Structure 1
Amino acid sequence: MIERRAAQRHRVFKGGTIAFENSGIACTVRNLSADGAAIDLDGPATLPPSFKLSISCDNFVRNCRPVWRSDRRVGLAFVQ
């Protein structure tokens, strides 16, 4: 497999929240880099084209967009 990420991702296991339109979906952040993250969702969910990912234990909030999806895992790219 060819690695196409610009920044190295680090494995993590943290609770997070996807926030959009006054609602939120709990998720588990599985890896994280300066450019994006991979998250696991508990069940099927339709995600909007852009939303905020927050990790409250780290005071971390980023605007992001989904770039790929495989079953329950979703790859995110952070946007400015």
Structure 2
Amino acid sequence: MAEDRRGAPRRNAFTIGAVETGDGSRECLVWDSSETGALIEIDEPGLLPETVGVRVTAEAPLRQATVAWREGKRVGLTFG
């Protein structure tokens, strides 16, 4: 079994969130999130800078995040 390296348990979200960069805001699909990070899906993930602001729902506060990994349209984010 593969080791789970997440810092906190993830909660399934499957909601529409937003990623904010210096160029504006883009919608994303939030697959899951926790206190330490989130898994999102976004068009053209290669255009995201290494540090972004993210809202896991429309009402959620903006949190600073760092891109941990990219695979296809999915991006792993670490909050902090």
- TM-score band w.r.t. shorter chain: 0.7 to 0.9
TM-score by length of 2: 0.87
Shift of 1:49: 1.6
Q: Unpaired runs of 5+ in structure 1?
A: none
Task: Please give the alpha-carbon distance, in whole angstroms, between the structure 2 residues aligned to 1:34 and 1:60.
Answer: 13
Aligned length: 77
Q: Which residue of 2 aligns with 1:10?
A: 11
Task: Please give the alpha-carbon distance, in whole angstroms, between the structure 2 residues aligned to 1:6 and 1:16.
Answer: 21
Shift of 1:29: 0.5
SS in 2 for 1:60: coil
Counterpart AA for 2:28: C
SS in 1 for 2:48: coil
SS in 2 for 1:2: coil
Q: Which consecutive segments of 4 or more residues in structure 1 shift more than 3 A?
A: none
Shift of 1:3: 0.5
TM-score by length of 1: 0.87
Task: Please give the alpha-carbon distance, in whole angstroms, between the structure 2 residues aligned to 1:26 and 1:52.
Answer: 12
Q: Provide the alpha-carbon RMSD of the alignment.
A: 1.2
Q: Which residue of 2 aligns with 1:30?
A: 31
With over 3 angstroms needed to count, the CA separation of the structure-2 counterparts of 1:34 and 1:71, relative to structure 1, is same
Shift of 1:59: 2.5
What percent identity do the matched residue pairs reach? 29
CA offset digits 1:29-72 (Å, max 9, x no partner): 0000000000011x22411121100121x333210011011101
